[in-house]
C-alpha cells in the first residue's frame, strides 16, 4: 500500500502507537522515504520531515541509515534491483525473440503502474553523494542483457554482431522513454502500449501492423484479416490492369484501322491523278506520233 504524506505527517498519539521491531521500523522509514523522495527529491526532503512522518525522532533515522542520503541510497538500490530483475527475468523467460521483447516491455510498464514512486525516483539523477546507480546505469545494465541476446541472434543469421550494442541501446531507449511518457499519461492501457512498442521494434515503420496485439491468437487473426484485404486489393488491381490492357488493345486496333483507311484513300487519289492526265498525240495510222530522228546534214543535201 502506498503511504501518502497526509497519512504519515501527523504521528499517532503515543498511547496508541504499536511498538515496532528494528526491522519493522526500518521498513517503515523506507516506505515513507520513498514517498517523500518521489514527490520532492533528495534535496527537497529533510530528515525532520521523514522523522515526523514516521512519528519518531531524528536520531532514529540516523541510527538506521546514517541520514537521509543513506535512506535514499537504500531506496534507489531496491528499486534498481527490482526493475532490473523484472526485465532480465522477462528476457530470459521466453524462447521466441518477439516474446522476449513483449515480456520485457510489459514488465517495465507493470513496474511503472505498480510502483510509480519507485520509478519517479529512478528517473531522477542520482545524488552525487549516495554512491548508488542512476537510471542511466540501470538502462545500461538492461542493454547489456539485450546486447547478449541480440549478438547470438545476429550470429545465427549471419549479421555483424558488432552492431548488437547499438541495436540494444536503441531498443532499450525506445522502451524506457515510452515508459517515462506513460508514467504521467497512463493511456492507453499497459498491454496496448507494450503491443505498439513491440510493433515498432519488431516490424519497423515500413511494416507496421495496423492493430498490434500481444496475444498470438488475436495477432494471427489480425494478420489473416490483413491478408484477405491484401488479396482483395490485389484482385481489384489485377482487374483494373486487365481493363486497362483491353482498352489499350482496343485503342491500338482503332488506330491501325484508321491507318489502313488512310492508306486506301491515298491510293485512290493517286489513281485519280493518273486517270486525268492527257493521252499522247496519234499519227494518221492511228499510232502515236513518232519523233523524227535527227538526220545527217549530208543526207539532207543529196535530197
DSSP 154-217: HHHTT--GGGHHHHHHHHHHHHHHHHHHHHHH--S-HHHHHHHHHHHHHH-GGG--SS--SSHH
Q: Which CATH code for domain 1-66? A: 1.10.10.60
d(CA 47, CA 10): 15
Q: What confidence tens digit (pLDDT) does each residue in 226-241 have?
A: 888 889 999 999 999 9
pLDDT at 15 over 80: no
Average pLDDT across the chain, whole number: 83
Arithmetic mean of pLDDT, 283-302 = 53
The pLDDT value given to residue 5: 46
Q: Which of 15-29, 224-238, 279-293 has the lowest mean pLDDT?
A: 279-293
Query: Confidence band (pLDDT; 50, 70, 90) for 1?
Result: very low
C-alpha cell at 299: 543526207
Tell me how many degrees the CA angle 293-298-303 measures, rounded to the nearest 5.
85
* Domain extents in the chain: 1-66, 78-214, 221-254
Phi, psi at residue 256, to the nearest 5°?
Answer: -65, -40
pLDDT at 300 over 50: yes
Q: What confidence tens digit (pLDDT) does each residue in 141-194 have?
A: 889 989 988 898 888 888 888 999 999 999 999 999 999 999 989 889 999 999
Query: Confidence band (pLDDT; 50, 70, 90) for 267?
Result: confident
The pLDDT value given to residue 149: 87
Q: How many Cα atoms within 13 Å fall on the side-chain side of residue 115?
A: 19
Contact 157, 169 (CB under 8 A): no
d(CA 82, CA 84): 6
Query: Confidence band (pLDDT; 50, 70, 90) for 94?
Result: confident
pLDDT at 210 over 90: no
d(CA 215, CA 297): 122
The pLDDT value given to residue 302: 54
Q: Which CATH code for domain 78-214? A: 1.10.357
The pLDDT value given to residue 4: 47
Amino acid at each position: 500500500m502506498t503511504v501518502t504524506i497526509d497519512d504519515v505527517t501527523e504521528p499517532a498519539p503515543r498511547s496508541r502507537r504499536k511498538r515496532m521491531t528494528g526491522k519493522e521500523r526500518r521498513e517503515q522509514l523506507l516506505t515513507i522515504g520513498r514517498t517523500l523522495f518521489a514527490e520532492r527529491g533528495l534535496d527537497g526532503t529533510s530528515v525532520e520531515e521523514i522523522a515526523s512522518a514516521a512519528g519518531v525522532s531524528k536520531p532514529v533515522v540516523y541510527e538506521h541509515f546514517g541520514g537521509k542520503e543513506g535512506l535514499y541510497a537504500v531506496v534507489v538500490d531496491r528499486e534498481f534491483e527490482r526493475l532490473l530483475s523484472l526485465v532480465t527475468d522477462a528476457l530470459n523467460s521466453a524462447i521466441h525473440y518477439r516474446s522476449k521483447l513483449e515480456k520485457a516491455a510489459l514488465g517495465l510498464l507493470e513496474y511503472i503502474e505498480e510502483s510509480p514512486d519507485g520509478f519517479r525516483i529512478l528517473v531522477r539523477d542520482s545524488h552525487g553523494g549516495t554512491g548508488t546507480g542512476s537510471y542511466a546505469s540501470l538502462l545500461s545494465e538492461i542493454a547489456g542483457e539485450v546486447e547478449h541476446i541480440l549478438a547470438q541472434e545476429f550470429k545465427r543469421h549471419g549479421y555483424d554482431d558488432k552492431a548488437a550494442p547499438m541495436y540494444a541501446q536503441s531498443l532499450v531507449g525506445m522502451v524506457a522513454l515510452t515508459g517515462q511518457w506513460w508514467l504521467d499519461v497512463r493511456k492507453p492501457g499497459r498491454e496496448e502500449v507494450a503491443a505498439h512498442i513491440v510493433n515498432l521494434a519488431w516490424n519497423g515503420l515500413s511494416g507496421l501492423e495496423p492493430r498490434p496485439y500481444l496475444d498470438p491468437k488475436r495477432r494471427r487473426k489480425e494478420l489473416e484479416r490483413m491478408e484477405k484485404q491484401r488479396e482483395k486489393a490485389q484482385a481489384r488491381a489485377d482487374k483494373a490492369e486487365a481493363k486497362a490492357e483491353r482498352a489499350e488493345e482496343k485503342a491500338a486496333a482503332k488506330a491501325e484501322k484508321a491507318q489502313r483507311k488512310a492508306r486506301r484513300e491515298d491510293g485512290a487519289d493517286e489513281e485519280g491523278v493518273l486517270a486525268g492526265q492527257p493521252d499522247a498525240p496519234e499519227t494518221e495510222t492511228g499510232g502515236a506520233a513518232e519523233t523524227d530522228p535527227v538526220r545527217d546534214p549530208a543526207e539532207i543535201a543529196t535530197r
